[in-house]
Amino acid sequence: MPEFTLRAENFRSIRRLDWSPEGTCLLAGANGAGKSTTLDVLRFLRALFERGHEAAVVAVGGDHLRSTDVAEDQPVTFELQVGRIRWVLRFPTTTLGLKGTYGEELYHEDQLVLRAAMFDDGWFLGSERHVHGHEPRCCAKILWDRGDAPWMSPLVGLIAGTYVYAAPALEKVKRSEAVTAHASVLHGAGSNLWSVLSNWKASAIHYEGRFDWVISKGRDAFPELLGAIEFERGLPFVFPPGASDPADGLPPARMADGLLTGLLHLTAVAGAHDGGLVAIDEMENQLHPHAIRRLLVAMRERAEEHDLTIILTSHSPVVMNAFRNEPENFYVIQGGEASQPVSLVELHDEDWLAQFSLGDLYDRLDFGAPKLAVGD
């Protein structure tokens, strides 16, 4: 995928974000430091571009966008730079939410192409003024839809190819309901898992073997649980290795939570388009260490083969130890740093890091530590 930089200021727990992730990356930090909020920046930008600012606010859980310790006259800002394209957004806020029209700028080759000032009811494309319509659409999307700015393709491709996954909705995945839709990409909470897998299985050539990849890597991670997945009258059943009796198939309600979580992670990664970005929050939840390690191997392979950027957040020492040979891809939201996140090799000497398990260092509070009271 093209190199990109994600920036934000004054957004909830983030005072300043400046990050250029690539490959498979880990993001760690104390509770409340801003790991999930960093992923919310990605959610916000995609929803804003595709559906407007109202949908973007809903996508990140509603109001209270501004950092609590920032003056009200300081806007919440976002910036996405892809190559020589730079998209800048400024949102005036109160403690509850937006308080007026947001500002927007789009640059190409360092030239300002469009601009909209905060609180203004119009925007400029070059010197041509346009008035905002009733639809809550962003100016960059309007320009793209006109079809005369093909140079925007890298920016639009990154936005459209970004998928962020929070804690999975396992209670919905476990419902024994016949598959009626034919989805091709996993929803943010994974509720359409069976629809995606059924569609991929039925159209194996069209979807380039994604179903078989999920099953193969799932068997590696869950060798005693997963042999095959079949759909009977639209209902999913998971069969253990070596099963030959239809009665051996388990419906979703009887499947292990860890297996379902692993299938969701694999389906999320397999569904990404070449050059896309997949972010998974707290990927270790419900998973045995063996499953975590095998899933990480599969993710790295897929990222390499399909030019993906994969961002994982975690508190798990097992996940952290898997980055021992790639400490440059291990990022930390670290108190006291002017800009977040910081690569682990910027905090500690690489030779020193090689002497320890990264998870042990995290447990010892050598990085990503909460602020402790005196005497703790």
Residues 146 and 204 occupy one common structural domain: no
Residues 175 and 194 occupy one common structural domain: yes
Query: What is the per-residue pLDDT for 122?
Result: 87
Partner residues linked to 228 by β-bridges? 239
Residues 176 and 306 occupy one common structural domain: yes
Ramachandran region of residue 77, left (φ > 0), alpha (ψ -120 to 50) or beta? Answer: beta
Residues 231 and 262 occupy one common structural domain: yes
CA gap 58, 164 in Å, rounded: 15
CA gap 313, 333 in Å, rounded: 11
Residues 84 and 97 occupy one common structural domain: yes
Residues 169 and 53 occupy one common structural domain: no
Cis-peptide into 136, omega within 30 deg: no
**In-domain check, residue 284:** yes
**In-domain check, residue 376:** no
**In-domain check, residue 288:** yes
Residues 233 and 123 occupy one common structural domain: no
Residues 251 and 128 occupy one common structural domain: no
**In-domain check, residue 354:** no
Q: Provide the total of helices (H) and of strands (E) in the chain, helices listed first.
A: 13, 16
Residues 193 and 239 occupy one common structural domain: yes
Query: What is the per-residue pLDDT for 360?
Result: 92
**In-domain check, residue 360:** no
CATH number at residue 301: 3.40.50.300
Residues of the domain holding 8: 1-22+32-160+332-344
The bridge status of strand 330-333 relative to strand 24-29 is parallel
Residues 243 and 315 occupy one common structural domain: yes
Can you list the residues of the chain whose pLDDT is less than 50? Answer: 373-376
Our count of domains for the chain comes to 2
Q: How far is CA 353 from CA 42, 253, 326, 361, in A?
A: 30, 43, 11, 9
Query: What is the 3-class SS of 209-264, one letter each residue?
Result: CHHHHHHHHHHHHCCCCCCEEEEECCEEEEECCCCCCHHHCECHHHCCHHHHHHHH
**In-domain check, residue 208:** yes
Gyration radius from the chain CA atoms: 22
**In-domain check, residue 372:** no
Residues 138 and 230 occupy one common structural domain: no
Query: What is the per-residue pLDDT for 376?
Result: 46
**In-domain check, residue 9:** yes
pLDDT tens digits, one per residue of 67-87: 888 888 899 999 999 999 999
Residues 102 and 176 occupy one common structural domain: no
Query: What is the per-residue pLDDT for 375?
Result: 46
